Amino acid sequence: MLTPDNVHARHAAKRKEIEQRLRDFAAIRSMGDAILLSELSFCISAANSSAEAASRAQKGLNEKNLLFSHDASAISSVLLSSHVRFHKNKAKYLIEARKKLFDEKGLEKAMQGRKDSVLLRNFLADEVLGLGMKEAGHFLRNTGLAHEFAILDRHILKNLVSLGVIDEPPKTLTRRRYLDIEKKMLEYCEKSKIPIAHLDLLMWSEQTGRIFK
């Protein structure tokens, strides 16, 4: 767990690995729709499930060539076998998200019309089923489109408590509460001189033992 006494030392120890991971994310942006859609499947799968389960689902969908499929049952089966919660709903969400963002060039249009990354996140959270504020920010970070958002999962919230940024993890995360905590996290990052994308990956690695995504 990160504390005010150890956070800078832990960051210094992992900074190069974190920076490389962020470069990996940035490279994804130019790899085409299939890779972007694969990352979207991870972010949709990860909601209310573990990152490990979401990663298994992402791998399974790629291996079975289901990312561009309309077969909700086949997609759901992969999510279920990967231990992704709400697999039936998420299979439908993934198909609808693909149609909106990729088949109809919605992501490209959104990016052109919303140069402000805050507006782009709001568009994803408001218009794409299966993406809330956390998942929309996660997708943007994992595809190199924006690095300035908090990705508030239980690992991050626990560490924000231990750092004194918030008093306790919220029982529910409304959009207003999410943005309030994100603002506090950004203020902490400004004071500590640790970029928010660095702090997020550092917190996650402290809880799981690795810098993942």
Angle at 39 between CA 190 and CA 142, to 5 degrees: 15
Active-site pick, 88, 105, 109, 134: 134
Active-site pick, 24, 71, 100, 153: 153
CA distance 3 to 25: 27
CB within 8 A of 37, min separation 6: which ones? 67, 68, 98, 101, 102
Query: Residues 156, 170: contact at Cβ < 8 Å?
Result: no
Please say if 153 is a catalytic residue.
yes
Q: Kindly compute the dihedral angle of the four CA atoms of residues 204, 205, 211, 213, in this order, to the nearest 10 degrees.
A: -10
CA distance 125 to 137: 9
Please say if 200 is a catalytic residue.
no
CA distance 75 to 116: 33
CA distance 22 to 141: 8
CA distance 61 to 81: 11
Catalytic residue positions, numbered? 134, 153
